[in-house]
Structure formats: C-alpha cells, structure tokens
Amino acid sequence: MANDSKHASFDLLNGAQIRQKLSGKRLASLPLPATTHEDFHADGRWRSWQGGRYARMHEGRWSIRANRLCVIESGETDCRTVSFARRAGWVRMPPPKSWNVGDAPTILVITGIK
C-alpha cells in the first residue's frame, strides 16, 4: 500500500464517526510493516506501541469529547481531531503527545487488534 497522502481527500470525523471507525481497531502507521500503532479497545482501553530505537509501550483509556478522540495516560488527557480518507481507507491525526515527536499529522491504516 503506497502512502500517497498528498493526493488523498480527508474529511474531519465527528464523535460518532470516530467511535464507529476506531472502536475495537488498531491504527498502524504507514508505510507497512508499521513500527508504531495504537489499539482502541471497545471497552475503552487504549494501548500504543512506539517502535524504533527507543521502543516504548503506552497504556491508558480513550473516549470521545466534543468530536475529538481523547486519551488519558498517566493522568494526562490528550485530545486530537481525526480525519478519514474514504477512498484510501486511511486515518489522519496527530500522534499521541506522549510519543514526543511533535504534532504533525500521521497517516494511519485501520487494522484489527491482534
């Protein structure tokens, strides 16, 4: 799957759409195979894996607030907007703040939780 995100059309999702797209799903970074991913369990648990040289796992809870995806990790709340490219099936949103990589939107592909 090529990452041709410059030509994809992304639409901002509302709270109900975010829940429908992400509940019970894994978002993996492109290009595949992904070194980073986020799991959004249907029961509200959130887990992410930040791969690379300093690999780390993060855990917390996720919810929807005011049409934004919010993650609570170690008492800190991080809320992000979520966009979706229907034709490509990609999600675009900033990475979690706990990853400490800036706030440039990341292109992600939806997969099932393993």
Task: Write the pLDDT tens digit of every residue in 40-49.
Answer: 999 999 998 8
Q: What is the pLDDT of residue 67?
A: 97
Q: What is the pLDDT of residue 31?
A: 65
Query: Using 50, 70 and 90 to split pLDDT, how confident is the model at 114?
Result: low
* Arithmetic mean of pLDDT, 66-88: 92
- Is the entire prediction scored with pTM above 0.85? no
Options 2.60.40, 2.40.128, 2.60.120, 2.20.25; which CATH number does 5-112 get? 2.40.128
Handedness of CA 104, 110, 113, 114 (dihedral sign): negative
